[in-house]
Amino acid sequence: MKPKKSFSLVQAIRSYFKITPYMPIMQWIEKNISLVDDVSSERDVPDFTLYPYQVEILKTWEDMSTRKKVVVMASEQLGKSTMWIYGLLYRFVYDPCQSLVCYPSDSKCQETNLTKIQPLIRHIPRS
């Protein structure tokens, strides 16, 4: 005699509508961001023990009730671009809307999209 499969109405609704269960941003990054295609990365996953100051800034992306302007000023190679890219990808999943990113030039736009954003998007599971 086969055991009966349990039925969950919530799971059935979630799978029908393809609803992604909510995760706080740090947990979401840990689960969904893969750096395997980033040739400049020493690791395959983000390591926030190296840059603990990024955590508080990244958590500002969780509040979806208001628009915010977050200004991050830091010297080179401290992860400023990483923070806005992770935040933007997080919002793509939980609060999809039109987004505008201003680049200093068309070539910088193309370079960032091809080398930083697209490789990360490829590894994010589709709901």
73 in a structural domain: yes
> Within a domain: residue 29?
yes
Report d(CA 30, CA 3) in Å as an integer: 35
Give exposure, 13-38, as e/b (b: 16+ Cβ within 10 Å). Answer: eeeeeeeeeebebbebbeebbbbeee
Q: Decide if 6 is inside a domain.
A: no
Residue by residue, DSSP assigns 6-39 as P--HHHHHHHHHTPPPP--HHHHHHHH---TT-T
pTM of the model: 0.77
**Per-residue pLDDT tens over the stretch 51-98:** 898 999 899 888 888 776 777 777 887 788 888 899 989 988 888 877
Task: Give the mean model confidence (pLDDT) for residues 37-61.
Answer: 86
Q: How far is CA 9 from the centre of its chain?
A: 28
pLDDT, tens digit, for every residue of 108-121? 889 888 888 888 98
User: Considering its fold, how many domains does the chain have in total?
Assistant: 1
Per the structure, the complete domain to which residue 51 belongs is given by 23-123
Residue 88 placed within a domain: yes
φ and ψ at residue 54, rounded to 5 degrees: -70, -25
Say which amino acid occupies 98.
Q
Residue 1 domain-assigned (yes or no): no
